[in-house]
């Protein structure tokens, strides 16, 4: 009680850093990157200022640049030249992601290459697997889609991915991928599952970034409703039981309660600060309404405080620069 207790003693300038309960380091960061098979120069993503679709030919240089900035891990998205119902480009041996992984690992063997494992950038209808007639009309057919996802997983591992990151929210996805990877001899490839991925408006700018807008329906038949906290936990719990190595909550900033729940499962947890979260901060700072560095650091520290071990953020490279200045 006051006056013995004075919380403001803890706020003395030199005491504050000493007592920080939460820190953000470069080791926590994962940088997402988009590679477009059809471009020869970086193509700016208008809804995500400062982000680009990179040509495949730049994969080696970008890997080296990020690694020397202190980034340990990247998350690769590919945009193929040709889309088709069978997502052929996703598991072609010379597909866009396969080429990027090979050249980045050759140039920079120590960087952890994570591949987004989904079909929606490769299907002409834009959905995350095989479409067929379902109970509610045309939709994603779960078990046929699993076979597609398994093929993509093995192909990405064969190209040299360290971690595959399935983002399709299919039932049984982690168990099927683990089985296929093991059968193909990729026992050491990790699975970072997008285990609790909400059906969120915050993926809006990603549609432009990855050219993965769907032509009908939406993703509410497979992604988690934002209203459901206990169900969100079960989604991650099941993926843990199926053999996931790392769990993920996505989006991140509006879902701190979910991150703190899922941390209790005991596996490492990644929080994905998605395109819409990035764009909101960029838009407000461009107007002068928020200070960029403070807004970004606060948003990422709040994810660590909620219980994330890793943060996936489009600000990763910028944050490395700021962390260097703090030293």
Smaller CB separation from ligand PBG, 108 or 146: 146
Burial of 86 (0-12, 13-18, 19+ CB in 10 A): middle
Out of 120, 140, 240, 316, name the contact with Zn ion by CB under 5 A. Answer: 120
How many helices (H) and strands (E) would you count in the chain? 11, 13
Q: Which of residues 64-103 bind Zn ion (CB under 5 A)?
A: none
Smaller CB separation from ligand PBG, 118 or 131: 118
Q: The tokens of 29 are what?
A: 């960061």
170 binds Zn ion (CB under 5 A): no
Which is nearest to 197 in space by CA: 145, 247, 266, 263? 247
Q: List residues bridging with 132 in a β-sheet.
A: 139
Measure the CA–CA gap between 158 and 152, rounded to whole angstroms.
Answer: 10
Q: What is the closest distance, in whole angstroms, from the C-beta atom of residue 275 to ligand PBG in the complex?
A: 3
Q: What is the closest distance, in whole angstroms, from the C-beta atom of residue 173 to Zn ion in the complex?
A: 11
Q: What is the closest distance, in whole angstroms, from the C-beta atom of residue 208 to ligand PBG in the complex?
A: 10
Question: Choosing from 197, 294, 304, 318, which is the catalytic residue?
Answer: 197
> Is there a contact between 169 and 248 (Cβ–Cβ < 8 Å)?
no
Question: Choosing from 81, 83, 105, 250, which is the catalytic residue?
Answer: 250
Measure the CA–CA gap between 9 and 175, rounded to whole angstroms.
Answer: 52
128 binds Zn ion (CB under 5 A): yes
Interface with ligand PBG (CB under 6 A):
116, 118, 120, 128, 167, 203, 206, 212, 219, 274-275
**C-alpha distances out from residue 147 to 116, 121, 128, Å:** 16, 17, 12
190 binds Zn ion (CB under 5 A): no
For this structure, is 250 an active site residue?
yes
Out of 24, 100, 108, 118, name the contact with Zn ion by CB under 5 A. Answer: 118
Q: Catalytic amino acids? A: 197, 250
Contact residues: Zn ion, CB under 5 A: 118, 120, 128
């Amino acid at each position: 009680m006051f006056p013995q207790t004075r919380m403001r003693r803890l706020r003395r300038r030199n005491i504050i850093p000493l007592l920080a309960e939460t820190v953000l380091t470069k080791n926590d960061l994962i940088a997402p990157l988009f590679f477009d098979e059809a471009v020869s120069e970086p193509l700016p993503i208008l809804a995500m200022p400062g982000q680009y679709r990179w040509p495949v030919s730049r994969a080696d240089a970008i890997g080296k640049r990020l690694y020397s900035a202190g980034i340990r891990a990247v998350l690769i998205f590919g945009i193929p030249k040709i889309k088709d119902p069978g997502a052929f480009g996703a598991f072609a041996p010379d597909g866009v992601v396969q080429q990027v992984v090979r050249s980045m690992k050759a140039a920079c063997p120590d960087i952890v290459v994570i591949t987004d494992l989904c079909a929606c950038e490769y299907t002409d209808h834009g959905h995350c697997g095989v479409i067929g007639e379902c109970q509610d009309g045309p939709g994603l057919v779960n078990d046929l889609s699993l076979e597609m996802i398994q093929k993509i997983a093995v192909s990405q591992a064969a190209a040299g991915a360290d971690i595959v990151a399935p983002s399709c929210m299919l039932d049984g996805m982690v168990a099927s991928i683990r089985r296929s990877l093991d059968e193909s001899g990729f026992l050491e490839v990790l699975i970072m599952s997008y285990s609790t991925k909400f059906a969120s408006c915050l993926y809006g700018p990603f549609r432009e970034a990855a050219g993965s807008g769907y032509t009908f329906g939406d993703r509410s038949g497979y992604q988690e409703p934002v209203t459901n906290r206990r169900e969100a936990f079960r989604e991650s719990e099941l993926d843990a039981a199926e053999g996931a190595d790392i769990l993920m909550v996505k989006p991140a900033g509006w879902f701190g309660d979910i991150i703190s729940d899922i941390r209790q499962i005991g596996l490492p947890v990644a929080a994905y600060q998605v395109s819409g979260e990035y764009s909101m901060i960029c838009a407000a700072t461009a107007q002068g309404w928020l200070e960029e560095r403070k807004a970004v650091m606060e948003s990422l520290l709040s994810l660590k405080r909620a219980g994330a071990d890793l943060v996936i953020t489009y600000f990763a490279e910028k944050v490395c620069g700021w962390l260097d200045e703090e030293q």
